[in-house]
Structures are given as structure tokens and as C-alpha cells.
């Protein structure tokens, strides 16, 4: 066996051992060593050279990056997640003929969709979704993310929150918690526009706070313009749109001049 | 992403009843068209030759192709030996008979690169039709290697078709990934040369698709409608695809496409699923929408629009909600949930947050009374007291003016046609004078003796 491959395999088993006992600091250190070692394999993306060990190398590299993605979720580092996922993606997209598909593929793709949703990168979310084959949409992990996005867009926020109980994979919990925060902000924004006022008890229930104190804290931090009096939260109503009384003269002049210029060109 | 195939032809062997000479004869005529195009540097003639070839495609037999190669290429050339080796040998004797009895004498100049590339294209098309994909690949690869050394504008038209079939044959054999790098390099070259190659329409279509996926609906709509408008009439399949996507994008934008869109000639049947879908969105009936989506699920999957249709659900709810808010000044959230047919464990809570979001996004003008659990619609203001009509009017004027400017830009005038005619007449005159002069001189020569 190739000595470089042996080295990577040994290091990787140490990584997995540390990973199993949740020793994440060791994991991060080992992972950077592993990544450096992987750069010495010419069979990996982007070179894809047909070396005799190509299959073995591709397999172990994919395994390493899959672990890296899960690790980044455990240490709650979203930037690392994005980096590792980008490195992992070619193994899913471009090596389908060379190595058999990984059982972790859909959970990780679903996780990435969830991340894009949490970061409110909806355009990228849909781009990723479009790259998946039709059959993938039936997979519970992908379906979970797709349904979340739908409920989120519709405004059925309580459906988003109840989805936390039905996560298809344990790694999803981290992003689901982040999503809950996003949902609260959305709900606050909607309530502000949709209601004139709300009793504190109701506000607590809508915004999912367990105590009055948390609610007060949230309001002073995020929405200082809301007013609390007589046991009710009053939302500012300054956004009322008055019918326009003023004539936007400058705009009208500009438009009329441009019409004149264009007509001149035609006649 | 798969390429949209323009009308595909079923490969069929030439019927034995057809006069064997005619296909070959047509090919020879096409060759002379190319020759004329090449010598006069007129790209349009070459495009015509390509069109004629496509029309001839169903009637091609191996012997026609071999005979044509023998006719068009110098027998000692590398291209001749390469291409003939790819065409299957059959009816050897009959071919000889054909060649021995040429009905009309058409002869062309040997060694024109256009003719050589045309031969490659012909063989490639023929091999694809015969389902000999490996040979076709070999042919395409060799031709593209040859094209790299040619730099003539008249070749570009043929090259574009070659590239098309090159990618098509790889698509058929599922090996598109292999040639991606090559195609990108070719595209880079084409961009540097500013070759348009008639791909602009396709570009617009794909741009529209990508923008749709990335939720940039306004830009997407513009690209797709332009692609549909610019596509040639004969590319019916392509235009249908453009229309399907354009309909969905307009629905996603909250517009309802006019009935005439669905009644376009030759598209009515293909657009029926989208027509029913539009109807469901227009009414805002979630149940009907679901039924339509299920009924035509296979069509939508094949069109790869299923993900977009999932997004439309949201629009259906919005439309329904807008209808409710216009009809009722006050309605309970439970009734809203019932009318929208939201089926979930907690329909009232869903309805409340959906309504709240619709209010925030400006889709409806209302407030929610949480304690009583109802929605109160606000009086709709007079639109004409706002700037709204002016903005709408302005955008329409801008569209018309832009259309006029585009039309002026798109008009084509034959270069100096007026002057040319004059010079042709003058030339005739000059020739006549020269002839007379020559005769005169000859007479003078005779006189010398």
C-alpha cells in the first residue's frame, strides 16, 4: 500500500477516535494536518488523475470531508461549514462513476440546505435544490429542508417550529435552533405591522418567551420603539402611508423631457 | 443542464423506392451553394446550405454519403481517408453505378475548408442518425481538432452546427462531463471573436431559467419573453419551453398571463397543464391547485418545473387571501383557514401568521385583532390619489419607446445595394467597350500583315 495513504488512514483513525469522545480541539488540529496531506493526492479534485489508488484515495478524502462538515456543526462554526462543504461537493457531483455513493450524502446535502435557509440565502438554496435529481426530493433529509422553506415563505411559522421535533438527523438541531431565532425576528416584524397592540401574555406566547422578563429584554434590545403600558405592547404606527399630496415635480419634468427627446428621434 | 433539442428526427434508412441519385444530387447542389458562399464570403448562403442539409437528413443513405465524399474531397487528402473510413461500406457495386451515371454535371473547386468541414458535419449527422455514437464521437473530436486551425468567418456557421452535434452526441451517451472543459474553451474563443452563431436565443432562455431559480423573477421574465419572441418559427419545441417557463414566472410575480398566451398556434395542447394551473392560481383555490399539480405531475417533472410549482402554492394562498380581504371588512381567522383550506394541526394559528406576513409584505391592507381572533380589512384608498397610475403609465411609455429603438437597430439594409447596381451596369458598359477595343486592335493587327 502507498505510504502516503497509510499515513492518512492512521491519522484519520486517530481523528475518528477523538471525534467519538467529543474531543473537538484535537479533531480540529488533526483535521488541518489531514487536509494538508490530502493535497498530495493527485487523484482528488480538481486534478482527478487516474492513479492506481484513485478509488481508495477518493473514498477516504470524501469520508474526511464529511466528518469535517459534521465537526463544523458540532463546534458551531458556520464559515468552516461552508468551506468544508464546498470541498466536499465535487465528491458528490463529479465522482459518481468512480466511487459508490456515500450514505451520508443526503443528510449532508439537507444540512447544507438548512444552513442556507438559516442564513437567508434563498437564491442559493434554490440553486442547490435544482442540482439535485428528482428522486432526491423524496429523501426525508431533503424533504425536511424543502418543507421548512415552504412554510417559512408562506408564513406558517408554527409549522417551522414544530419541525424541530421531527429532525431527520441529530446534527440538524443546531441549525433548527438558529432557525427558531430567525423565526422570532420574522414574527416580531410581522406583529409590528399586523397588530395595533397586544397584551403582554399574548405577545409572550406569539414570540415564544417563557417569562415576562425575557420579553422585556428582547423588546429593549431589538425593538426599543415598541411601547409597553397598561399590560399591553403597543406597536409603533408611524409607518402609515398617507396618500401622496405632493407632486413629484422633478421626476415628472425628467420623464417628460425624456419623452420629448425620444419623440424627436422618431419624427 | 440538458440542452433543449430542436425537432429531433428519427433515424431511418433511405427507402429503397426513392431514386438513389436525388439525395446525392441535392448534396452536390448544397456543395455548390457552400462554394458560392465561401467565394463571395456570404455567411447567409452557408446557413442556407445547413438548413437544406437538415431537410435532407431523413433521406441520407451510406452510399450517398460515400459518393458525396468522393465527389467533394480530393482523394489524396487526409480528410477523405478519415471520413470515408467512418462511413459504413455497403452496396459497393450500386455506388459505382451511381457514380458512373451522373445526371447533371456539377463540379466544385477542391480544397475549400468550408467544403471539408461540411463533409465532417454531414458524416457526423449521418452517424448520429445511424446511432453509431462511438464513431460519431470520433468524427466530432477529429473535426473539432481540425477547426482549431481554421479562422474563417464563413466556417463559423458550420462550426456552430458541429459543436451542437458534438455536445448532442455526448449528451446522448451521457458523457457531457468529459467535454465540458473543451466546450468552455470554445465558448471563450467565440466570445473573444464576438461570434454570435445564433446562440443568443438559447443564452436568453438559460439565463431566464437561472434567474427564475434564483428568484429574480422580473429579470427572468424579460429574458424568457425575449427568447420566445426571438426564436425562429420552426423551433416549436423551444418556443413551447420558453412559454411554459414564462407563464410560471409571471404567475410567481403575481401576474395572470392572458388567455391568448395559451391559445398560440400549435401550442394549445402543450400548454394545457399550465393553463389549468393558471386558473387555479387566479381563483386562489388551494384544493384545485393541488389537484392540478397532481394531475399533471409527470408533465411538470419532465419540464423540470416541479420545484417552481411548489413555490406557487404561496401565491395561491396570497391570491385567496387578497380575495377574502377585499370581500370582507371583518372575518374570523377560523373562517379564513376554512376558506383557504389550510389543512394542518393548527389551522387558526397558521392562518394568523400567514395573514400577518401578508400584511407585512404589503399583499393586503388589514390589521389583526388577536384577542377576538379576527382580521379587519382597511378601507381601500383611492389609487388615483397616489403616484401609482403615473408610474404604470411611465413604464408603458418606456416599453414602447424602447421597442421602437430596438426595431430601428434590428433593421437590416443591404450594403450599398443602390450603388452596386449602378456599378454592375457600368461594368457591363466597360466590358463592352473593352471588347470593342480588343476587336479593333485585332483588326489593326490583321491590318499590319
Q: Helix, strand, or coil here: A198?
A: strand
Start-to-end CA distance of chain B, whole Å, equals 82
pLDDT in tens, B364-404: 888 888 888 888 888 766 778 778 888 889 999 999 998 89
If you average pLDDT over residues B179-200, what whole number do you get? 70
Which residues on chain A are in Cβ contact (under 8 Å) with B359? 190, 193-194
Of the pLDDT bands very low, low, confident and very high (cuts 50, 70, 90), residue B251 is very high
Buried-state track A52-82, b at ≥16 Cβ within 10 A, e below 16: eebebbbbbbbebbbbbbbbbbeeeeeebbb
B36 vs B101: which has the higher pLDDT = B36
Of the pLDDT bands very low, low, confident and very high (cuts 50, 70, 90), residue B295 is very high
Task: Reply yes or no on whether the pLDDT at A250 is more than 80.
Answer: yes
Which contacts (CB < 8 Å, 24+ apart) does range B294-298 have? none
B387 interfaces chain A, CB cutoff of 8 Å: yes
Mean pLDDT of chain A: 85
Of the pLDDT bands very low, low, confident and very high (cuts 50, 70, 90), residue B362 is confident
Task: Reply yes or no on whether the pLDDT at B179 is more than 90.
Answer: no
Query: Chain A residues contacting B, CB < 8 Å?
Result: 94, 122-124, 126-127, 129-130, 134, 146, 150, 153-159, 162, 186-187, 189-196, 198-199, 202, 206, 243-244, 248, 252, 255, 259, 262, 265-266
B383 interfaces chain A, CB cutoff of 8 Å: no
B244 vs B423: which has the higher pLDDT = B244
Task: Reply yes or no on whether the pLDDT at B13 is more than 50.
Answer: no
Which contacts (CB < 8 Å, 24+ apart) does range A102-105 have? A102/A62, A102/A63, A102/A66, A104/A66
Mean pLDDT of chain B: 80
Of the pLDDT bands very low, low, confident and very high (cuts 50, 70, 90), residue B2 is very low
Compute how many other C-beta atoms are within 10 angstroms of the C-beta atom of residue B441: 10
B152 interfaces chain A, CB cutoff of 8 Å: no
What distance in Å separates the CA atoms of residue B27 and residue B25, rounded to the nearest whole number? 5
Which contacts (CB < 8 Å, 24+ apart) does range A145-148 have? A145/A110, A145/A113, A145/A114, A145/A117, A146/A113, A146/B310, A148/A114, A148/A117, A148/A179
pLDDT value for B183: 79
Task: Reply yes or no on whether the pLDDT at B99 is more than 60.
Answer: no
pLDDT value for A1: 65
Q: Helix, strand, or coil here: B265?
A: coil
Answer whether the bond into residue A46 is a cis peptide, omega within 30°: yes
Mark yes or no for CB contact A244/B354 under 8 Å: no
Structural domains in chain B, sorted by start: 20-196 (no CATH), 328-379 (1.10.10.10)
Mark yes or no for CB contact A150/B397 under 8 Å: no
Of the pLDDT bands very low, low, confident and very high (cuts 50, 70, 90), residue B244 is very high
* Cβ proximity of B46 and B37 under 8 Å: yes
Task: Reply yes or no on whether the pLDDT at B8 is more than 70.
Answer: no
Question: Out of A156, A186, A196, whose CB is closest to B350?
Answer: A156
Q: A232-241, B161-170, B415-424: which has the minimum mean pLDDT?
A: B415-424
Task: Reply yes or no on whether the pLDDT at B331 is more than 80.
Answer: yes
If you average pLDDT over residues B309-328, what whole number do you get? 88
Q: Which of A117, A154, A201 to mutate to test the interface with B (most CBs of B within 10 A)?
A: A154
Of the pLDDT bands very low, low, confident and very high (cuts 50, 70, 90), residue B442 is low
Compute how many other C-beta atoms are within 10 angstroms of the C-beta atom of residue B423: 11
Mark yes or no for CB contact B213/A189 under 8 Å: no
pLDDT value for B159: 83
Task: Reply yes or no on whether the pLDDT at B1 is more than 90.
Answer: no
Q: Helix, strand, or coil here: B87?
A: coil
What distance in Å separates the CA atoms of residue A39 and residue A37, rounded to the nearest whole number? 5
Q: A130-144, A183-197, B92-106: which has the minimum mean pLDDT?
A: B92-106
Q: A141-150, B15-24, B360-369, B381-390: which has the minimum mean pLDDT?
A: B15-24
Question: Out of A159, A187, A193, whose CB is closest to B359?
Answer: A193
- Of 1.25.40.990, 3.60.20.10, 3.40.30.10, 1.10.10.10, which CATH number belongs to A3-194? 1.25.40.990
pLDDT value for B6: 45
B290 interfaces chain A, CB cutoff of 8 Å: no
Which residues on chain B are in Cβ contact (under 8 Å) with A266? 404
* Strand order, beta sheet including B374-377: B330-332, B374-377, B366-369
Domain boundaries, chain A: 3-194, 195-240
The CA–CA distances, whole Å, from A99 to A39, B219, B371 equal 19, 40, 60
pLDDT in tens, A75-109: 988 999 999 999 998 888 877 677 888 888 889 99
Q: Convert B43-72 into a string of H (helix), E (strand) and C (coil).
A: HHHHHHHHHHHHHHHHHCCHHHHHHHHHHH
Task: Reply yes or no on whether the pLDDT at A242 is more than 80.
Answer: no
Task: Reply yes or no on whether the pLDDT at B58 is more than 50.
Answer: yes
The CA–CA distances, whole Å, from B10 to A178, A211, B53, B70 equal 55, 72, 15, 26
- B97 CA: distance to closest CA in chain A (Å): 49
Q: Using the structure block, give the residue that is written with the C-alpha cell 387558526.
A: B348
pLDDT value for A254: 92
B411 interfaces chain A, CB cutoff of 8 Å: no
pLDDT value for B101: 43
Q: Which residues pair with A234 in a beta bridge?
A: A197, A227
pLDDT value for B121: 87
pLDDT value for A166: 78
If you average pLDDT over residues A8-26, what whole number do you get? 90
In chain B, what percentage of residues exceed pLDDT 70? 83
CB neighbour list of residue B185: distance below 8 Å, 6 or more residues apart? none
If you average pLDDT over residues B282-306, what whole number do you get? 89
pLDDT value for B11: 42
* Cβ proximity of B293 and B300 under 8 Å: yes
* Cβ proximity of A173 and A167 under 8 Å: yes
What distance in Å separates the CA atoms of residue A112 and residue A24, rounded to the nearest whole number? 21
pLDDT value for B14: 42
pLDDT value for A100: 84
pLDDT in tens, A162-218: 887 778 788 888 888 888 888 888 888 888 888 888 888 888 888 878 888 888 888
Task: Reply yes or no on whether the pLDDT at B340 is more than 50.
Answer: yes
B245 vs B343: which has the higher pLDDT = B245
pLDDT value for B94: 45
Residue A99's nearest CA partner among A130, A75, A143, A65 is A65
Amino acid at each position: 500500500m502507498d505510504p502516503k495513504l497509510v499515513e492518512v488512514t492512521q491519522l484519520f483513525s486517530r481523528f475518528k477516535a477523538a471525534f467519538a469522545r467529543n474531543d473537538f480541539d484535537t479533531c480540529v488540529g488533526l483535521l488541518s494536518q489531514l487536509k494538508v496531506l490530502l493535497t498530495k493526492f493527485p487523484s482528488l479534485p480538481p486534478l482527478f488523475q487516474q492513479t492506481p489508488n484513485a478509488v481508495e484515495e477518493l473514498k477516504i478524502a470524501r469520508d474526511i470531508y464529511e466528518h469535517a462538515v459534521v465537526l463544523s456543526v458540532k463546534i458551531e462554526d458556520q464559515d468552516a461549514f461552508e468551506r468544508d462543504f464546498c470541498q466536499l461537493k465535487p465528491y458528490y457531483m463529479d465522482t459518481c462513476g468512480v466511487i459508490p455513493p456515500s450514505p451520508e450524502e443526503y443528510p449532508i446535502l439537507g444540512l447544507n440546505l438548512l444552513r442556507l435557509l438559516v442564513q437567508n440565502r434563498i437564491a442559493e438554496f434554490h440553486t442547490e435544490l435544482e442540482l439535485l435529481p428528482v428522486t432526491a426530493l423524496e429523501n426525508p433529509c431533503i424533504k425536511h429542508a424543502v418543507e421548512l422553506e415552504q412554510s417559512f415563505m408562506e408564513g406558517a411559522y408554527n409549522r417551522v417550529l414544530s419541525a424541530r421535533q421531527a429532525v431527520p438527523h441529530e446534527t440538524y438541531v443546531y441549525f433548527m435552533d438558529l432557525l427558531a431565532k430567525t423565526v422570532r425576528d420574522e414574527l416580531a416584524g410581522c406583529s409590528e405591522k399586523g397588530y395595533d397592540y397586544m397584551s403582554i401574555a399574548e405577545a409572550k406566547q406569539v414570540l415564544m418567551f417563557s417569562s415576562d422578563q425575557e420579553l422585556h429584554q428582547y423588546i429593549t434590545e431589538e425593538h426599543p420603539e415598541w411601547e409597553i403600558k397598561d399590560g399591553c405592547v403597543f406597536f409603533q404606527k408611524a409607518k402609515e402611508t398617507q396618500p401622496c399630496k405632493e407632486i413629484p415635480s422633478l421626476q415628472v419634468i425628467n420623464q417628460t423631457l425624456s419623452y420629448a427627446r425620444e419623440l424627436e428621434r422618431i419624427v | 443542464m440538458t440542452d433543449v433539442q430542436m425537432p429531433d428526427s428519427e433515424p431511418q434508412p433511405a427507402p429503397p423506392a426513392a431514386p438513389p441519385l436525388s439525395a446525392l444530387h441535392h448534396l452536390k447542389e448544397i456543395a455548390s451553394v457552400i462554394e458560392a458562399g465561401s467565394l463571395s464570403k456570404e455567411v447567409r448562403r452557408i446557413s442556407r446550405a445547413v438548413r437544406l442539409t437538415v431537410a435532407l437528413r431523413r433521406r441520407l443513405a451510406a452510399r450517398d454519403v460515400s459518393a458525396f465524399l468522393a465527389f467533394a474531397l480530393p482523394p489524396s487528402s487526409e480528410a477523405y481517408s478519415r471520413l470515408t473510413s467512418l462511413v459504413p461500406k455497403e452496396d459497393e457495386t450500386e455506388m459505382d453505378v451511381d457514380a458512373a451515371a451522373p445526371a447533371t454535371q456539377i463540379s466544385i473547386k477542391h480544397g475549400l475548408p468550408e467544403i471539408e468541414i461540411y463533409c465532417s458535419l454531414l458524416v457526423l449527422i449521418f452517424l448520429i442518425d445511424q446511432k453509431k455514437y462511438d464513431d460519431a464521437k470520433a468524427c466530432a473530436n477529429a473535426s473539432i481538432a481540425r477547426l482549431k486551425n481554421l479562422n474563417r468567418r464563413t466556417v463559423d456557421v458550420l462550426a456552430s452546427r458541429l459543436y451542437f452535434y458534438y455536445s448532442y452526441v455526448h449528451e446522448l451517451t451521457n458523457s457531457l462531463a468529459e467535454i465540458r472543459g473543451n466546450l468552455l474553451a470554445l465558448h471563450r474563443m467565440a466570445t473573444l471573436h464576438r461570434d454570435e452563431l445564433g446562440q443568443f436565443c438559447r443564452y436568453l432562455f438559460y439565463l431566464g431559467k437561472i434567474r427564475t431559480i434564483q428568484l429574480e423573477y422580473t429579470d427572468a421574465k424579460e429574458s424568457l419573453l425575449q427568447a420566445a419572441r426571438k426564436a425562429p418559427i420552426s423551433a416549436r419545441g423551444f418556443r413551447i419551453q420558453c412559454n411554459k417557463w414564462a407563464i410560471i414566472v409571471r404567475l410567481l410575480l403575481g401576474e395572470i398571463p392572458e388567455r391568448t398566451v395559451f391559445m398560440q398556434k400549435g401550442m394549445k395542447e402543450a400548454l394545457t397543464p399550465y393553463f389549468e394551473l393558471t386558473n387555479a392560481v387566479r381563483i386562489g383555490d388551494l384544493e384545485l391547485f393541488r389537484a392540478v399539480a397532481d394531475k399533471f405531475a409527470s408533465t411538470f417533472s419532465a419540464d423540470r418545473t416541479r420545484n417552481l410549482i411548489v413555490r406557487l402554492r404561496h401565491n395561491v394562498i396570497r391570491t385567496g387571501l387578497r380575495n377574502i380581504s377585499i370581500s370582507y371588512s371583518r372575518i374570523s381567522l377560523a373562517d379564513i383557514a376554512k376558506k383557504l383550506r389550510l389543512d394542518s394541526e393548527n389551522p387558526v394559528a397558521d392562518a394568523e401568521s400567514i395573514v400577518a406576513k401578508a400584511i407585512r409584505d404589503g399583499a393586503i391592507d388589514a390589521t389583526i385583532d388577536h384577542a377576538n381572533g379576527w382580521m379587519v380589512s382597511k378601507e381601500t384608498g383611492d389609487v388615483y390619489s397616489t403616484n401609482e397610475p403615473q408610474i404604470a403609465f411611465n413604464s408603458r411609455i418606456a416599453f414602447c419607446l424602447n421597442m421602437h429603438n430596438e426595431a430601428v437597430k434590428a433593421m437590416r439594409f443591404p450594403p450599398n445595394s443602390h450603388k452596386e447596381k449602378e456599378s454592375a451596369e457600368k461594368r457591363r458598359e466597360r466590358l463592352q467597350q473593352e471588347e470593342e477595343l480588343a476587336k479593333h486592335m485585332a483588326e489593326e493587327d490583321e491590318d499590319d500583315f
